[in-house]
Amino acid sequence: MSVARRSLLTLFSLFLLPYVAFGQTWDLMRDITPRGYAAGYAQEAPRIDGRLDDAAWARAPWTDPFVDIEGSRRPAPRFQTRAKMAWDSTYLYVAARMEEPHVWGTLTERNSIIFHDNDFEIFVDPDGDNHNYYEFEVNALNTIWELTLARPYKDGGPATHGTNIEGLRSAVHVDGTLNAAHDTDAGWSVEVALPWAGLARYASRPVPPVPGTRWRINFSRVEWQHTVADGVYRKVPETPEDNWVWSPQGIVDMHRPERWGYVQFHTSPPGEATFEPDPTLAARDLLMAVYHAQKAYHQAHGAWASSFEELGLTLDALRADDTRIVTMQTEDNGFVVEARAVLPNGTVQTLYTNQLSRVWTE
């Protein structure tokens, strides 16, 4: 064995650990199929009062019950959470129902860090580019926090707090008694109307959405442990929170838009349409597989790999049977990788990603 080769090997084993660690992130995420929901068009707008007794909701199906953020590797949540979606020409509507024997909330200041209380969260990435997305959090007092992520935290963020959407309406209904520890509650429900006009800045596509199109969306519920002291709920400090979500992420990080669910917009009334999966999902997953391998490689070597061989990626490993990687271009400060998807009408769509996990089409 040549000296050069031996030092390469040594280098490789030195850096094997971080390389493997970053690579494992995608291993935990790749087998999760994002959830899908067909949102119907509400002929009659729901009244935003936190009660889900409106005609629009009556026939809208519940989402699957929420699961742990890490998916089936973790125990099922202690309390059930489900959501519904609908839309009309002005708003995207979201409703959620949370079983909860002890409804409490403390934060009353708008745009405070709401997940320090138990909360319900909405994430929206209309164009599925993994960048420039919207986050909303609400506690049982209907105190809200809205923020904008230019990029996921892992790609540098930043998060801009307090980017409140003008005209957004939210309401909470407590099925029980708020902040009263002496009794047992049934739960709480949330109703939110998100104006299309305010979501437009995230969309780079028409709002309201063109019927049939899909937006990336996810919901999360944060649940803390609490004790009761002098008849008052107290959050147990220094304990990890539970994150129960609609579309599992695989890892404890909501800021992986590539694993959020899909909402598809239909013109039929709620409850009639069926969700049609995204024909580009396999190509998107392939791009994310390369992105994760490149990040792992970069952590290990301080440079981007210039070939799939260098990344140890075979087409088999990438499950590239129904997609094709065409090229990967690497430069000093990044890379662009390209994959193709065949749409139902036979059109071939080319998708790209880069070192910041942004996904775009030509």
Ligand X SMILES: *[C@@H]1O[C@H](CO)[C@@H](O)[C@H](O)[C@H]1NC(C)=O
User: What is the dihedral sign for C-alpha 41, 47, 50, 53?
Assistant: negative
Give 247 or 304: the residue with its C-beta nearer to ligand X. 247
Pairing state between β 348-354 and 159-161: unpaired
Residue in 252, 303, 317, 326 binding ligand X, rule: CB under 6 A: 252
Residue in 254, 288, 290, 359 binding ligand X, rule: CB under 6 A: 254
The site map against ligand X for 228-247 (x = CB under 6 A) is ---------------x----
Beta carbon of residue 343, minimum distance to ligand X (angstroms, whole number): 5
The site map against ligand X for 67-96 (x = CB under 6 A) is --x---------------------------
SS in 3 state form for 289-345?
A: HHHHHHHHHHHHHCCCCCCCCCCCCCCCCCCHHHCEEEEEEEECCEEEEEEEEECCC
The three-class DSSP label of residue 247 is: coil
Which amino acid is located at 229 in the chain? A
159 belongs to the binding site for ligand X (CB under 6 A): yes
Euclidean distance between CA atoms 119 and 98, whole angstroms? 10
Residue in 64, 99, 175, 253 binding ligand X, rule: CB under 6 A: 253
- Residue 83: which of 24, 138, 27, 7 has the closest Cα? 138
281-301 vs 16-29: helix crossing angle, rounded to 10: 160
The site map against ligand X for 161-200 (x = CB under 6 A) is ----------------------------------------
Q: Classify burial at 86, counting beta carbons within 10 Å of its beta carbon; exposed 0-12, middle 13-18, buried 19 or more.
A: buried
C-alpha distance from residue 311 to each of 118, 256, 317, 330, 346 (Å): 42, 22, 11, 12, 31
347 belongs to the binding site for ligand X (CB under 6 A): yes
Give 38 or 60: the residue with its C-beta nearer to ligand X. 38
* R_g of the chain computed on alpha carbons: 22
The site map against ligand X for 130-149 (x = CB under 6 A) is -----x-----------x--
Which of 1-9, 89-97, 101-109, 340-348 is the region at the interface with ligand X (rule: CB under 6 A)? 340-348
Beta carbon of residue 115, minimum distance to ligand X (angstroms, whole number): 6
345 belongs to the binding site for ligand X (CB under 6 A): yes
Contacts with ligand X by CB under 6 A lie at: 69, 115, 135, 147, 159, 243, 252-255, 343, 345, 347
